[in-house]
Amino acid sequence: MVGTGKHHSYERPVAGRPTAWLGRLLMTVTCLTLCQTAVATDSAAAPEPMTVIDAGTPVDDPGRERWNRIVLLATPRFTTGDTDDVPASIKDTVTGFTFAILATVRRIEPPSEEGTRSGHELVEVGVGNCMSVNDRLTVVAPDAAMEGCSLDFLGRQVLNAKQKSLGEITCIGKDDAAVVFDVPTLMLQGDEHEDLVVRHLVRIDPQSGHCTTCAWLVAITDDGNSTPVDEPLRLIDGGTREDRSIHVDGRRFTFGLPTKRAFAVVDLPPGQRVDWSTSLRTAADAPTYSKAALDRLTTELDTAIASLRTLRSAER
């Protein structure tokens, strides 16, 4: 069981080891970053890396032509476990960055026919690291100089590590209205930090233009296959701003500093829990999704959500 007291590793000296502890810190920060892709017409389901939103992009600006929807904002918070073991400088630096998933939604005006309504299309979904710049949440990058964005040495190294970790996130399926991507994440399971994948399905309502995300945990088996973890899916509203709870394992510290397995995400983003049905699990149980497979997945998900809402309505 992970305690909350002072860990004995603090008693060990750190002098003379700046390179070693910084390397361990950067490996740790990588584990915290929990994404993006352009919506294309290619029907191939081959995994591809996510594209990163350009530095300088304002996060909350619905009037922009591009990146005009917030899908999810997540700011790490050290909340459980051996939080006192985390040096104040690391706490302040890591929690100063926010992970952002943004989308570009475009209004479609149909031909002027009586009774035909306008709609919306999901043009792209993107991800970036952001922080407050001139009192406005803005996407930042290690190689981008911006007025009002000042980082010390530790801040630059942490941002560099977070930026590099985006390369581990892969898009595994997409169509004109949805994108699915995998995020390797160290998750808290019981008292242990386990390597899992958080799978995200971002969708748009064609009528309202509202974005939603469904997230679930996926385990990678010894033979390289993936299988959904037996925990409910999470239906997340567009525009959600999450304080992402981080668990600290003091046993994973060396010379008073965290190793890459010291920090783990406690839970999926906040939202409505949706239980797995047999047919939904079957549709979701795949390493990648063709357009036909993605259509089956979204259909089964909609069925499960509708069943849940019917059940809750009957209970009132």
Residue 73 to residue 166: CA distance in whole angstroms: 15
Query: Is 2 part of a structural domain of the chain?
Result: no
Domain enclosing residue 71, as ranges? 8-272
- Of 186, 192, 133, the residue nearest 159 (C-alpha): 133
pLDDT digits (tens, 9 = 90+) for 96-128: 999 999 999 999 887 656 556 678 999 999 999
State yes or no: pLDDT of 243 exceeds 60: yes
Residue 184 to residue 168: CA distance in whole angstroms: 7
Side chain identity, residue 57: T
Query: Is 132 part of a structural domain of the chain?
Result: yes
Q: By CB neighbour count within 10 A (0-12 exposed, 13-18 middle, 19+ buried), where does 277 fall? A: middle
Residue 172 to residue 180: CA distance in whole angstroms: 6
Query: Is 203 part of a structural domain of the chain?
Result: yes
pLDDT digits (tens, 9 = 90+) for 198-237: 999 999 999 999 999 999 999 988 887 889 999 999 999 9
Query: Is 289 part of a structural domain of the chain?
Result: no
The runs of H, that is alpha helices, within 133-268 are 153-165
Query: Is 70 part of a structural domain of the chain?
Result: yes
Q: What pLDDT shows up at residue 44?
A: 46
Give this prediction's pTM. Answer: 0.83
Domain count, the chain: 1
Contacts of 45 (CB under 8 A, 6+ apart): 172, 173, 288, 289, 290, 293
Q: What pLDDT shows up at residue 117?
A: 67
Query: Is 286 part of a structural domain of the chain?
Result: no
Query: Is 93 part of a structural domain of the chain?
Result: yes
Please count the other Cβ atoms lying within 10 Å of the Cβ belonging to residue 46: 10
Q: What pLDDT shows up at residue 14?
A: 44
Query: Is 279 part of a structural domain of the chain?
Result: no
Beta bridge partners of 94: none
